[in-house]
Structure formats: structure tokens, C-alpha cells
Amino acid sequence: MDLYLFDFDKTLYAYDSSKRLPAQSRLSGVSQYHLAKTWWAAGYEVRAELGEWPTAAAYLEKFAEVTGARLTLDQWCQARHEASTPNPGVVEALRTASTRGTVSLFSNNPPPFVETLPEMAPDVTAILGANVLVSCQVHIRKPDPDAFRAALARYGGTAAETFFVDDSAANVAGAASIGITTFHYRGEDDVPALNEALDRFAGRGAG
């Protein structure tokens, strides 16, 4: 059965980091500059996306230790939610793909993302069910080709039977390098082309 992998940030949902930091600062009382410098610029978020702190609780404890900002999981989700809004056309493409094969989220994100996704994106979760695959779970980040191999292994798929959509050209190239059919999503104007690409993939070999 065909496998359809969809990125989340800037693909299924628009993401604006310039809204997330102010929200975290407001909720924690720690300045945006300090949060950005001590956590993101210092590489901790990438380490979290690789699963160094395997649970949301461990992530939030490390975040507090490094930045001095104590956030509850609900507050983390609130800040993330303020920065994330649905791309309805891509969510609908995911829904269509779910009628044609197995669909899964495939995203670079840390453990709190996994635990709060049902609250942050209930529309996407309703389509995916349990099929959520995040870099912190496999300890490999896109665009590493091994990340895509891990996705195929998770679902018992093959590259020839897999379609992947992402906003990152590097991630698309990583998937294409092992033979996965890809679509580079750049914005809502690409939705018709995405639907056409999904139709071609689903109908390949017909006739």
C-alpha cells in the first residue's frame, strides 16, 4: 500500500517563530533575547529534536535549567499554538491521501510537540490517528536520508511506493536521494499543483 508522508511546520500548518518567542516570554517572564540566545542559538532545540530528552517533562526541565524559564506543558502548547495556523488546502490534501493509502506526519520536532499535537492540530490528528512520526522518536532529523529510511521501516513501505511533501528544499532532496517521490511545497498557491502531483502518484501505471 502507498505511503504518504507530510511535514507539519510550514506545510500542513503555517509556522511563525516571531509569534512563538513573545508568547514564551510573556508566559515565563524571561526575555525573548535570552530565550533565543540560550536555547535556540546554543543548539538545544536541535538536540531535543534528536531525542536527547526523550519526554516532554525532561525537555521542559532542561529548558528551565538552561533558560531560567519554567513552562508547563500547557503553556508550551499555548505558545506553539499561537505561532501555528492551519493551511486548509494541505490539510485537505492529507485527507484525500488518507483515502488512497497510509498517511503519516513526518516532522523535525521535540517531545512536547508529540504530546500536544492533538490539542494543537485536532484536524490533522483526526486524519492521522496514531501515525505521527517525529525526529525525536527516531533520533534522526530530516534531511538525513536515514531519517527517511527510518520512516519506511516504521510503516513497512518502500521508496517506490512513498510520496513526501515538505516546505524545505533540503528535506525534499534528502527524500528524493533514496527514490521517494517528492513535492516541494512553497505556499498556498502550490495547493493545486500538490493535488495534481498526488493524483499522478496515485494513478501511476494506470492504463
pLDDT tens digits for range 127-165 = 999 999 999 999 999 999 999 999 999 999 999 999 999
- With contact defined as beta carbons under 8 Å apart, do 121 and 85 qualify? no
The pLDDT confidence band at residue 206, using thresholds 50, 70 and 90, is low
Task: At 133, give phi and psi (nearest 5°).
Answer: -120, 120
Q: Is 207 or 100 the better-scoring residue by pLDDT?
A: 100
Per-residue confidence (pLDDT) for residue 23, from 0 to 100? 97
- Say how far apart CA 128 and CA 104 lie, in whole Å: 6
Average of per-residue pLDDT across 41-69: 98
The pLDDT confidence band at residue 88, using thresholds 50, 70 and 90, is very high
- Grid cell, residue 56, equals 516532554
Q: How many residues does the chain have?
A: 207
